[in-house]
């Protein structure tokens, strides 16, 4: 399948990802860029929360519950707005047709988003190669099988997804990304790998730049230049979104970080720090609360990032509130209110910080560099030892100077310094309790914190671009008459935006693309799933009945029989525990003809087929199961099919 052939499915994915959120956001009263940027975050919340609710009331997760949940939520919002407006203004709420934005604003928005979408789409297609390719990485075994699990079982709740067991209890895993992709695969019938790549493309090329543009608008108001520069910069950072397509693979983090700029923008709006009159504080609060649920269920660590990034704006709000008290000559006692709010926030945040975090065993990632080098990498947005984009570095430096000189959005610099500080700690500090306290929330993993750097850096860099534009405008005003023509402004803007877009696509991004593309290469020796293994999986349904459970070693990629062949895997994911009959099978299968315990275990599992993908395991693992060794020489097994070194056996000893 080519990418062009996926066009109808891309349209379906667009409808799934944006329409529910657009409906709810409009019901809330959002419009303009806020409305468009709110669409995906609200859809993710509707989907992820809806999947939890559907499971609680024993309804299978599919498009129908999402539509129902969207309609119910929107109707409730409209009714509440009607009652609130009627009581506050003593008149009923009326629908009004508001004038469209000026053509110039619409064009600037379209150009900005178009540049970002084009750059990121081209990069993404070059990374994946084919829409059918999968990421040959450790975590992808779980991700792909979790999607199949949701489609087959109808259970998409994040509260139980972790075990991939339809009869299991509480086993939390953030399932927002899986819920959305399962909707696409289940409603269109396309394969899970294709669904994954289409949805990830839209997240990277649309959701991320829309959120970044909205955040920049909250900082700089309705000025068009910084929004357009943001579009040019959306594909300029090696650590996001490209790194999330290479490492892990961290698809939930890809989604959650793409949602983070919108959530941070709503924090700014709620605190009254935005430079635009919209959204009103109440609307911002509602959008933040609703989108925050989806953010947390996309990945809790990114919700914790928002909690950290909210501290500088909250401090700015406290100072502004105290200043207002002094100017209005109110009693000094009014100062206590913002201070109490701030103290309460810090107290609650600290409790969450020390309570909701991965185990120490899971947070094993070591530091990767020295503190001075980590400092340089963070400030230049070139983490993980990557190449420096001098254009990004220049714009960032100019942005810092601009914000300080204009005394504008100091909270933004605070967020920028916090993101840099967290990366410096995780990348350069020694592996001790101090480091774990600050970065254990992100598994002490420098990759995850590297991916967060662009969320604030893109706003700072766009501020640098705005400084350049303002400087050119001043030169124009003092120049000769012909330079004051409108066409000169249009050309100058086009040159500025084009230059940023072109020069940011240098060695840094090219290297990130090449590195990510290696994870999607399908060859005869691919680390997780080779061409022979994929060929065997593609024709497995000719040999294995639908209700059978295939014996597998997930470390070799054999458990992808579930996602790709739609046949149950005995061990569905790397790290899934084997107990009882399953433990007997994986330890003793090659002794089925002589060990009397094996056949009863196979009967209990309805498991008489086994995949042998050889000894190669992901991440150079050595987790081989004793019972799956040397199956070719074992008695009581029959070779049913093979492609190269990939083999499918049937157990005959129990007939």
pLDDT per 10-residue tile (average), the chain, 655 residues: 93 98 94 94 98 96 97 94 74 60 81 96 96 96 97 96 88 96 97 98 98 95 91 96 94 98 96 82 94 97 97 94 79 80 96 92 92 96 94 96 89 96 97 95 96 97 93 69 64 88 94 96 94 95 93 95 95 88 93 92 94 90 85 92 94 88
608, 600 contact by CB (below 8 A) = no
Query: For residue 189, what pLDDT is reported?
Result: 94
CB-side neighbour CA atoms (13 Å) of 109? 17
SS3 436: helix
pLDDT digits (tens, 9 = 90+) for 306-352: 999 999 999 999 999 888 877 776 776 678 888 999 999 999 999 99
pLDDT digits (tens, 9 = 90+) for 156-194: 999 999 999 888 789 999 999 999 999 999 999 999 999
Measured from the Cβ of residue 94, the count of other Cβ atoms closer than 10 Å reads 7
459, 412 contact by CB (below 8 A) = yes
CB burial of residue 211 (10 Å; 0-12, 13-18, 19+): buried
Query: For residue 430, what pLDDT is reported?
Result: 95
Q: At how many degrees (to 10) do helices 192-202 and 251-270 cross?
A: 30
* DSSP bridge partners of 51: none
Q: Which of 264, 377, 352, 353 is nearest to 314 (CA)?
A: 264
299, 174 contact by CB (below 8 A) = yes
Query: For residue 578, what pLDDT is reported?
Result: 85
Q: Which of 192, 262, 187 is nearest to 16 (CA)?
A: 187
Residue 471: which residues within 8 A CB-CB, separation 6 or more? none
* β-pair type (568-569, 549-551): parallel
Query: For residue 536, what pLDDT is reported?
Result: 96
The owner of tokens 């399948």 is 1
CB-side neighbour CA atoms (13 Å) of 574? 20
Query: For residue 453, what pLDDT is reported?
Result: 97
pTM of the model: 0.95
Element holding 425 (H helix, E strand): helix 410-428
DSSP-derived letter for residue 357 is S
CA separation for the pair 555, 454 (Å, rounded): 33
SS3 247: coil
526, 252 contact by CB (below 8 A) = no
DSSP-derived letter for residue 512 is H
Query: For residue 479, what pLDDT is reported?
Result: 57
Q: Write out the DSSP string of 166-180.
A: TT--------HHHHH
């Amino acid at each position: 399948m080519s990418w062009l052939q996926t066009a109808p499915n891309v349209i379906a994915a667009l409808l799934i990802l944006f329409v529910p959120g657009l409906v709810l956001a409009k019901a809330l009263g959002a419009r303009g860029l806020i409305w468009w940027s709110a669409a995906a975050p609200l859809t993710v919340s509707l989907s992820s929360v809806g999947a939890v609710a559907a499971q609680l009331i024993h309804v299978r997760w599919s498009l129908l519950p999402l539509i129902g949940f969207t309609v119910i939520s929107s109707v409730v919002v409209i009714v509440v707005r009607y009652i609130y407006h009627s009581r506050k203004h003593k008149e009923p709420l009326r629908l009004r047709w508001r004038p469209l934005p000026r053509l110039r604003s619409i064009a600037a928005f379209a150009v900005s988003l178009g540049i970002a979408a084009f750059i990121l789409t081209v990069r993404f297609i070059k990374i994946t190669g084919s829409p059918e390719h999968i990421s040959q990485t450790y975590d992808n075994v779980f991700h792909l099988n979790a999607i199949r699990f949701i489609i087959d079982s109808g259970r998409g709740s994040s509260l139980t997804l972790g075990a991939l067991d339809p009869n299991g209890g509480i086993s939390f895993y953030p399932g927002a990304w899986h819920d959305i992709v399962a909707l696409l695969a289940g409603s269109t019938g396309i394969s899970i790998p294709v669904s994954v790549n289409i949805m990830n493309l839209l997240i990277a090329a649309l959701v991320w730049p829309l959120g970044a543009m909205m955040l920049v608008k909250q900082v700089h108001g309705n000025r068009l230049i910084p929004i357009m520069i943001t579009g040019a910069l959306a594909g300029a950072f090696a650590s996001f979104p490209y790194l999330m397509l290479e490492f892990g693979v961290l698809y939930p983090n890809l989604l959650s970080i793409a949602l983070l700029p919108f959530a941070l923008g709503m924090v700014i709006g709620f605190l009254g720090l935005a430079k635009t009159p919209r959204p009103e504080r109440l609307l911002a609060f509602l959008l933040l609360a609703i989108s925050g649920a989806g953010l947390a269920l996309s990945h809790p660590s990114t919700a914790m990032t928002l909690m950290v990034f909210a501290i500088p704006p909250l401090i700015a709000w406290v100072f502004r509130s105290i200043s207002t008290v002094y100017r209005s000559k109110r009693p000094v006692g009014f100062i206590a209110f913002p201070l109490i709010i701030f103290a309460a926030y810090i107290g609650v945040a600290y409790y969450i910080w020390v309570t909701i975090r991965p185990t120490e065993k899971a947070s094993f990632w070591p530091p990767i560099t020295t503190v001075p080098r980590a400092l340089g990498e963070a400030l230049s947005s070139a983490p993980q030892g990557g190449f420096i984009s001098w254009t990004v570095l220049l714009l960032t430096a100019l942005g810092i100077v601009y914000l300080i000189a204009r005394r504008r959005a100091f909270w933004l610099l605070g967020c920028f310094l916090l993101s840099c500080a967290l990366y410096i700690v995780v990348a350069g500090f020694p592996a001790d309790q101090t480091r774990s306290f600050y970065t254990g929330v992100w598994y002490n993993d420098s990759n995850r914190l590297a991916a967060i750097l662009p969320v604030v850096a893109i706003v700072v860099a766009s501020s640098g671009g705005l400084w350049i534009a303002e400087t050119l405008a001043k030169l124009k005003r003092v120049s000769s008459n012909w330079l004051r023509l409108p066409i000169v402004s249009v050309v100058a803007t086009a040159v500025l935006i084009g230059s940023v877009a072109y020069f940011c696509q240098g060695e840094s991004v090219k290297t990130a693309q090449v590195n990510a593309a290696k994870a999607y290469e399908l060859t005869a020796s691919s680390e997780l799933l080779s061409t022979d293994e994929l060929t065997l999986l593609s024709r497995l349904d000719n040999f294995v009945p639908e209700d059978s459970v295939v014996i597998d070693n997930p470390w070799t990629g054999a458990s992808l029989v579930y996602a790709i062949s739609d046949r149950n895997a005995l061990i569905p994911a790397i790290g899934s525990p084997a107990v009882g009959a399953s433990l007997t099978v994986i330890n003793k299968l090659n002794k089925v003809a002589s060990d009397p315990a094996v056949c009863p275990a196979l009967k209990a599992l309805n498991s008489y087929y086994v995949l042998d993908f050889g000894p190669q395991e992901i991440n150079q693992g050595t987790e081989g199961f004793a019972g799956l060794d040397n199956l070719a020489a074992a008695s009581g097994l029959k070779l049913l099919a093979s492609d190269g070194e990939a083999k499918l056996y049937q157990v005959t000893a129990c007939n």
